Structure formats: C-alpha cells, structure tokens
Amino acid sequence: MSPVAVDVPVDYRRRLRSGVGVGEFSDRAVEPAQAFTNTGLLFEHPGSRDYDPREHIAQHPDTPERIDSIDAALAAVDWLGWERRVAPMVTRAELEAVHDADLVDMIKQLVAGGGGSIDDDTYVDAAGYRAARHASGAACAMVRALMAGEARVGFAAVRPAGHHAERSRAMGFCLFNNIAVAAQLAIAELGVRRVFILDWDVHHGNGTAEIFRRRDDVLYASIHQAGIFPGGGALADSGSGPGFGYTINLPVHAGADGATWLSLLEHVVLPAASDFRPELVLISAGFDAHRDDPLADCRLNSHDFALMASHVRDLARRVGAPVGAVLEGGYHLPSLGASVISMMRALVADGEAQSVAPEFAYTPRAASYVGQHWDLC
C-alpha cells in the first residue's frame, strides 16, 4: 500500500501553528535497505489502526493512515531486518504510576457512555481507549526488552501519541503519556536510576515535562517550535524543587532548519545528557518538525532526523545505555514514512555522527541557561 496524503484544512491548522507558509520541499524516495550488523525491536498493535477520531472530529489529522504510511515504507525495505512484536496492553497499575486514578476513571466512564470529547482536539471512544492502552503497553514492553538485554534499540510505532498528556489531564490528541509511563516503569520496576528523555516533536511535550518537573531521576529535554500549541516550554523553565535543572526547554523560531536543531542537540542537549549519565535513553519521536508537515513551520527533512538519531545513538553507546523511541506526531504521510526509516537506520548504524558547527544565535543563549546546571564541555 502506498502512503496517502491527508489534506488538513486551514481552519484546523490555525489551532496548532502560526501563519508562516509550509515549504515546498519533498523528500527523496526511500532508498533500498542496507545491511546492518545490529537490528532493533519494533513494537506495533493493530488497534493503532482501529481508532479514527475523524468519526467524531471532522478532518482530524491524527489518522490511522499515519500507521499505514510507516508500515508501507518499512515493508518496502523488509522492515530493515528489525524484529516485529505485538504490543501488550498496559496495566492499570502501570498507568496510575504516572496518571491520577481520576483521569483513568474519567476516560473509562466516557467510553462506557459511548465516547466523548475531552477537549476540542481530543476524543475518546472504545477503539481509542484500547489503542491508547496498547500504545502505552508498547512503550513499556519496549523498555522491558531493552533493559533485559534483548536488543540495544527499539521503536514503538503506535498511536495515539502521549507527550501532551499530563498527570491529571488528557489533551492534544493524547490520552496517556506513553513515554512517561515507560520511564516510570523502568525506574520503579527495572532498577534504572536515571532516564534521559529527548523530545524532538515540534510541539512542546508539556505532559512529560509536567510529570517529571520536580524529579532528578529523569532528565527531560525538548526542542520545539515556540508560539504554537500547547504553549509553554520557555528556555528559562528548568524544572522546580528537586528537579530544578532537570528540564531543558529549547524553543526555536518558525522556519528553524535542521542545522539549528542539530546544533542545539549536539552542543547543548547531549553534553548535558552525558553529564547526567543515563542508564536508559528514550526519544519522543515526533516528525512534525518536517518542512512538509501541515501543523508547524520548521524546516527539517528526513535526513535531519537521521542525523539527530545518530547523535543520540552515539550518546547511548558512550554511556552504555539502550535507546528506545516512541512515536509522537507527524502528519504529512510521505515524509513520515521516510523520516521513520531514516531514524531507525541511524539508530543501528555503525560509525560516528556527523558534527555540525554551533549555530550562532540560539546555541550560545541556550548554553548560557543549561550550562548553569550541567557541564557542557
């Protein structure tokens, strides 16, 4: 099946992006699979296709075709040799380790009543609830496998996304915070002492930041476009209490390209993460910073995601930690499939990441904040 583009209407775009026009760049066709000495684990679930919020919110951009586009691209390259596993369902206890019981009960009650809206962008029905529990379950199963040494790299290609879901609030297409649930599982049950979460979705991961903002066992770093949904994520917000310094927010302007993102990652985020010495590395892997994505205005291409992934891979190898990615956003279907493959290839590739020169405006300012808490040398 070939990826099918979805036309996202202008009125929906206005809620999640500023007014700068979308670029005209399109990615090259995906190249044939390469031979790798290392392979990863890919976690999926059929329920990711069952949930379609367009049945309740017209022209919603988070569609089952997102998963179809990823699977079509991966099938064309024989899944890159990765082992495919069916994701289990997260348990209630695993959810409540991160989310308030009242939130879980509210969602269950909405489903029992036939479904309902949580906000203007977020609707839940029985299919959505099942999909969300398997999405969190995929992230948890991935972390269990990584920490058991079954692989060094994993990817949970599931929906709905999770990084906007807060402890007591579902929002922004997200019901449960998949990556936060998995990180907490690693700490509470698997003996992990320090988790690094990198969020490169173009929208700030307010939920993940809120859940861990007062903790020093999770370092959360987000590169995101400023001035769009959900707001927040200011450079000066570094967490609070025992977690002061353990939140790194790096907002960029509309039109920021891959060089800007890569500079912030290489020269600010990853030196801080190296100083933190994580035992598990997780990526909130949104691909809506791509220049063709309709819900934001950054200018990355699929190769930029490969470059970012290669730097994260090198960090994980230096500190001896496995790395797992969890799908977040990405709404331009052809570029979504290409970007996912670029990331997956880079995460298992040999060699060293390509270094970039420090960007002259954002990087020094960001380093002045982050360097108050971490050794960036």
Tens of pLDDT, residues 295-320: 999 999 999 999 999 999 999 999 99
* Least confident window among 3-7, 54-58, 202-206: 3-7
Q: With contact defined as beta carbons under 8 Å apart, do 235 and 249 qualify?
A: yes
Q: Model's pTM, two decimal places?
A: 0.91
Bridge partner list, 124: 116
pLDDT in tens, 187-200: 999 999 999 999 99
User: Active-site residue numbers?
Assistant: 164
Which residues in 243-254 are b (16+ Cβ under 10 Å) and which e? bebbbbbbbbeb
Strands 41-44, 153-156: pairing is parallel
Provide the CA 143 distance to its chain's centre, in angstroms.
Answer: 15
Encode pLDDT of 98-148 as tens digits.
Answer: 999 999 999 999 999 999 999 999 999 999 999 999 999 999 999 999 999
Both tokens of residue 368? 């002045």
- Asked if 87 and 93 count as a contact pair (C-beta separation under 8 A), the reply is no
Assigned token pair, 5: 């583009």
Fold designation for 40-370: Arginase; Chain A (3.40.800)
Q: How far apart are CA 136 and CA 128, in angstroms?
A: 12
- For 239, phi then psi, to 5°, come to 95, -175
- Which residues, including other chains, have CB under 8 Å from residue 10's CB and lie 6 or more apart? none
Each residue's pLDDT tens digit, 217-247: 999 999 999 999 999 999 999 999 999 999 9
